[in-house]
């Protein structure tokens, strides 16, 4: 099969306050090299998609405050859509879809978050190919991640009957999308086996997506078409009139209820570095050992040190020490959910520069 | 009364590993401004004694590695005795005593540690005056600190019968010196009322001290007299032949047993910044609040920050964060006694530069 009609959209947004002080207002999560690979999350997402479709068929949608940084990190980027203000994922993806449809009638689009980690590019490519095949039938197709455990950090997608498509043997109908569950519910989903994680990957023809939008959110659809006619830099005043809504609520949930969503399995590793606990898991620093510049003495946890400085932890387990040069955060892994309160707390203490 | 015959000795030694990373091999505790007053502990000790006796009658005894720093901190210093290697307090004080006796026959000397905090100079002066009066009678006189609680961090001194000296009404005989007690014993001492803290302050005529030494440690006495004849820079080889012993063991304990030690009360505030728990008490940062550059969010403890950087603590109580620019220590107050293990641990990890 060929990907010639397939265009990738990378919505690069989100503040990532749960990873403060690594992530800041002007340096959000997707601009960071959290895996220590030498490439930022955005760059890794680009690399993965660029291998599938080349640089000409990738659109990055990002906020005005981050456009320069995105251009700097992706010198081969040719299509950038700049959001004057954040209005959640539906306007971002919808505008990119409208722009692509204008120039490439009949195109298939796929949306992939800028801040997720995937290392098995081949398996990712196979899943996208299968999703594109499904999308060409007029369905919206998501890629469901095989759960590695009963996580409460992600939404789940319930699988329905197999679609029986010869070129997409793994494709099933989606019964419903469910929000982040509690621990017992998550355990039930994983035990049941018919649920996959929602990684926010949606593949559809641009016209399918826009048709759903025209039916479900006509004002938003009208607004997006009008803006798209003027190119990838929307007028701020008109942009701000658009409804602020996520694609999950605008399309995925209602269309699933009407039987219009399919799912193919994502049999690749997938990691959402959602908070410091996820980062600790990614970095796997919990061995209690020491390395150059870091001494864990009767201690273990996650330590991110700064060049030219040493960090010593004595007697605290599951510690988190993040030193970014200007800011040092000290906490423990079980406070991962509270980290997001800290930028606001600093702002309240008269230090918005630290947020 | 007059202090004309009184000379102060400041032994400036000790590594202070329990205050690492504030204190280092080349920057021991007495060279630090731990109270945030703008003056180091050594400078504050100098200021206190210089007001009593002037700059001409103060001897500072310090290690060769710290002599330059001592001279830099005390530009008015005229008498510095440089120890080639550390041999504990008796050789240090004994050499200074012998040097003073050579030039000022009949002088009274008093030894005061370089790293203790006292803010009530007037009360300190009154206690020293009383001790000097007692010393002129041929006794070795210590100044016993009124305990503010049943501390297990200090040795205690048991008071005996009052001496009945008209010019030193508070003076009593010393029954015995006791080492740092356990908590129950310390509580008993404080309840009893007849015990005071041993702050290592000894006042005696130089000849009394040297006579005790001649009787109790004749080889050490001979060695010190020989070295003193050559001035304040002892020959390293001959210095290293001296017995390594504290004045408490060499003189205070045996002479007390023989009835030769007196004590006057020290009715002034006195603080030995022995470890990070004591430092926290001194800094009184445990209010759980925040200040410029420090945010304690559901947290309290001791935070010492570095210029131009911020420290945020989330969800850890009794935390200790010390940022010295090159080193960050993270621990909790109940690990105060283990901090002294850290310089050796860093050395074992190939980083002696951090010790």
Query: What's the confidence (pLDDT) of residue A289?
Result: 65
Confidence check: pLDDT of B202 > 60:
yes
Q: What residues contact residue A233 under an 8 Å CB cut-off, 6+ apart?
A: A81, A82
Contact assignment for B327 to A309 by CB distance below 8 Å = yes
- Show the tokens assigned to A195: 């649920």
For chain B, say whether A323 makes contact (Cβ under 8 Å).
yes
Q: What residues contact residue A1 under an 8 Å CB cut-off, 6+ apart?
A: A129, A132, A133, A167
User: Rounded to whole angstroms, what are the CA distances from B97 to A68, B92, B111, B136?
Assistant: 72, 9, 9, 15
**What percent of chain B has pLDDT above 70?**
98
Q: What residues contact residue B76 under an 8 Å CB cut-off, 6+ apart?
A: B46, B50, B55
Query: What's the confidence (pLDDT) of residue A138?
Result: 97
Counting runs of H as helices and runs of E as strands, what totals does chain A give? 12, 16
B218-228 vs B89-103: helix axis angle to the nearest 10? 50
Provide the residue ranges of all domains of chain A, joining segments of one domain with +. Answer: 6-272, 276-354
For chain B, say whether A336 makes contact (Cβ under 8 Å).
no
Give the whole-angstrom CA distance, residue B124 versus residue B127.
5
Contact assignment for B342 to A295 by CB distance below 8 Å = yes
Query: What's the confidence (pLDDT) of residue B15?
Result: 76
Residue A229, judged by CB atoms within 10 A of its CB (0-12, 13-18, 19+), counts as exposed
- Show the tokens assigned to A343: 């930028």
Confidence check: pLDDT of A292 > 90:
no
A310: chain B residues, CB-CB within 8 Å: 326-328, 346, 351, 354
Query: What's the confidence (pLDDT) of residue B3?
Result: 83
Residue B20: closest C-alpha in chain A: A312
Query: What's the confidence (pLDDT) of residue B16?
Result: 80
Residue B233, judged by CB atoms within 10 A of its CB (0-12, 13-18, 19+), counts as middle
Nearest to residue A17, comparing CAs of B314, B317, B299?
Answer: B314
B342: chain A residues, CB-CB within 8 Å: 295, 297, 312, 314
Nearest to residue B204, comparing CAs of B149, B113, B133, B103?
Answer: B133
Confidence check: pLDDT of B288 > 80:
no
- Which residues on neighbouring strands pair with residue B159, listed in sequence order? B174
> Tens digit of pLDDT for each residue in A196-238?
999 999 999 999 999 999 999 999 999 999 999 999 999 999 9
Interface A:B, Cβ pairs < 8 A: 111
A275: chain B residues, CB-CB within 8 Å: none
Which of A309, A326, A330 should be substituted to probe chain B, the one whose Cβ sees the most B Cβ atoms within 10 Å?
A: A330
* Residue A183: count of CB within 10 angstroms of its CB: 10
- Residue spans of alpha helices (H) in chain B: 41-53, 67-73, 89-103, 121-135, 183-192, 206-216, 218-228, 236-239, 247, 253-257, 276-283, 342-348
Residue B335: closest C-alpha in chain A: A315
For chain A, say whether B161 makes contact (Cβ under 8 Å).
no
Give the whole-angstrom CA distance, residue B26 versus residue B33.
15
> Tens digit of pLDDT for each residue in B98-155?
999 999 999 999 999 999 999 999 999 999 999 999 999 999 999 999 999 999 989 9
Q: Tell me the mean pLDDT in the region A293-317.
A: 94
For chain B, say whether A321 makes contact (Cβ under 8 Å).
yes
**What percent of chain B has pLDDT above 90?**
93
B328: chain A residues, CB-CB within 8 Å: 309-312, 321, 323, 328
Evaluate whether A264 touches A141 at the Cβ level (below 8 Å): yes
pLDDT, mean over chain A: 95
φ, ψ at A204 (rounded to 5°): -165, 160
Residue B291: closest C-alpha in chain A: A349
> Tens digit of pLDDT for each residue in A15-57?
789 999 999 999 999 999 998 899 999 999 999 999 999 999 9
> Tens digit of pLDDT for each residue in A100-112?
999 999 999 999 9
Q: Which fold has domain B6-272?
A: Spore Coat Polysaccharide Biosynthesis Protein SpsA; Chain A (3.90.550)
- Show the tokens assigned to B208: 């009394």
Give the whole-angstrom CA distance, residue A224 versus residue A230.
10
Q: Tell me the mean pLDDT in the region A245-257.
A: 96
Residue B187, judged by CB atoms within 10 A of its CB (0-12, 13-18, 19+), counts as middle
Q: What residues contact residue B276 under an 8 Å CB cut-off, 6+ apart?
A: B18, B19, B302, B320, B322, B331, B333, B336, B339
Confidence check: pLDDT of A132 > 90:
yes
Contact assignment for A327 to B310 by CB distance below 8 Å = yes
Contact assignment for B290 to A349 by CB distance below 8 Å = yes
pLDDT, mean over chain B: 95
| Reported confidence tier of residue A285, pLDDT bands at 50, 70, 90 | low
- Token look-up 């012998």 returns B98
Query: What's the confidence (pLDDT) of residue B293?
Result: 92
Q: Tell me the mean pLDDT in the region B7-20.
A: 92
Residues within 8 A of B (CB atoms), A 229-288 only:
none
Residue B299: closest C-alpha in chain A: A331
A338: chain B residues, CB-CB within 8 Å: 297-298, 314-315
Residue A303: closest C-alpha in chain B: B330
The length of chain B is 355
Q: Taking the CA atoms of chain A, what radius of gyration do you get in angstroms?
A: 21
Contact assignment for B316 to A338 by CB distance below 8 Å = no
- Show the tokens assigned to B64: 């060769």
How far is C-alpha B234 from the geometric centre of its chain's CA atoms?
A: 23
Of A314, A321, A329, the CB nearest to B342: A314
**What percent of chain A has pLDDT above 90?**
93
Give the whole-angstrom CA distance, residue B259 versus residue B237.
36
Buried b (16+ CB within 10 A) or exposed e, A303-342: bbbbeebbbbbbbbebbbbbbbeebbbbbbbebbebbebb
Contact assignment for A328 to B349 by CB distance below 8 Å = no
Of B315, B334, B345, the CB nearest to A297: B345
A333: chain B residues, CB-CB within 8 Å: none
The Cβ-side half-sphere exposure at A44, using a 13 Å CA radius, reads 25
Q: What residues contact residue A197 under an 8 Å CB cut-off, 6+ apart?
A: A144, A145, A146, A147, A151, A154, A155, A156, A157, A270
Give the whole-angstrom CA distance, residue A159 versus residue A162.
8
Of B298, B309, B338, the CB nearest to A328: B309
- The CA-based diameter of chain B, rounded to the nearest angstrom, is 62
SS3 at position B116: strand
Smallest Cα distance from B61 to chain A, Å? 33
For chain A, say whether B335 makes contact (Cβ under 8 Å).
yes
- Token look-up 């469901």 returns A144
How far is C-alpha A131 from the geometric centre of its chain's CA atoms?
A: 18
Q: Is the ipTM of this complex over 0.90?
A: no
Query: What's the confidence (pLDDT) of residue B24?
Result: 95
> Tens digit of pLDDT for each residue in B218-259?
999 999 999 999 999 999 999 999 999 999 999 999 999 999
For chain B, say whether A21 makes contact (Cβ under 8 Å).
yes
Smallest Cα distance from A320 to chain B, Å? 10
Smallest Cα distance from B129 to chain A, Å? 45
For chain B, say whether A347 makes contact (Cβ under 8 Å).
no
């Amino acid at each position: 099969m060929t990907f010639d009609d397939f265009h990738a959209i990378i919505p690069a947004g989100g503040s990532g306050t749960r990873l403060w002080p690594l992530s800041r207002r002007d340096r959000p999560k997707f601009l960071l090299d959290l895996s220590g690979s030498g490439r930022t999350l955005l760059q890794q997402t680009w690399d993965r998609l660029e291998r599938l479709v080349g640089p000409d068929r990738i659109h990055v949608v990002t906020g005005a405050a981050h456009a320069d940084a995105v251009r700097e990190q992706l010198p081969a980027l040719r299509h950038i859509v700049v959001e004057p203000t954040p209005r959640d994922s539906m306007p971002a993806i919808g505008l990119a879809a409208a722009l692509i449809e204008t120039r490439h009638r009949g195109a298939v689009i796929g949306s992939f978050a800028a801040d997720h980690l995937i290392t098995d590019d081949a398996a990712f490519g196979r899943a996208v190919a299968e999703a594109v095949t499904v999308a060409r039938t007029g369905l919206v197709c998501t890629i469901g991640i095989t759960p590695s455990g009963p996580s409460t950090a992600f939404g789940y997608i319930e699988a329905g009957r197999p679609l029986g498509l010869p070129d997409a043997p793994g494709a099933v109908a989606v019964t419903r999308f469910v929000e982040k569950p509690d621990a017992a519910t998550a355990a039930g989903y994983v035990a049941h086996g018919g649920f996959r994680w929602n990684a926010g990957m949606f593949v559809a023809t641009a016209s399918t997506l826009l048709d759903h939008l025209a039916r479900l959110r006509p004002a938003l659809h009208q607004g997006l078409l009008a803006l798209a006619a003027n190119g990838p830099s929307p007028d701020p005043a008109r942009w701000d009139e658009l409804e602020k809504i996520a694609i999950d609520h605008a399309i995925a949930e209602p269309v699933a209820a009407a039987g219009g969503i399919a799912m193919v399995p994502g049999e690749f590793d997938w990691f959402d570095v959602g908070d410091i606990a996820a980062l600790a898991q990614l970095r796997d620093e919990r061995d209690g050992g020491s390395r150059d510049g870091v001494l864990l003495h009767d201690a273990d946890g996650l330590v991110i040190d700064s060049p030219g400085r040493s960090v010593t932890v004595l007697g605290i387990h599951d510690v988190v020490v993040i030193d970014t040069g200007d800011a040092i955060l000290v906490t423990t892994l079980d406070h991962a959910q509270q980290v997001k309160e800290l930028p606001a707390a600093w702002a309240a203490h008269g230090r918005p520069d630290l947020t």
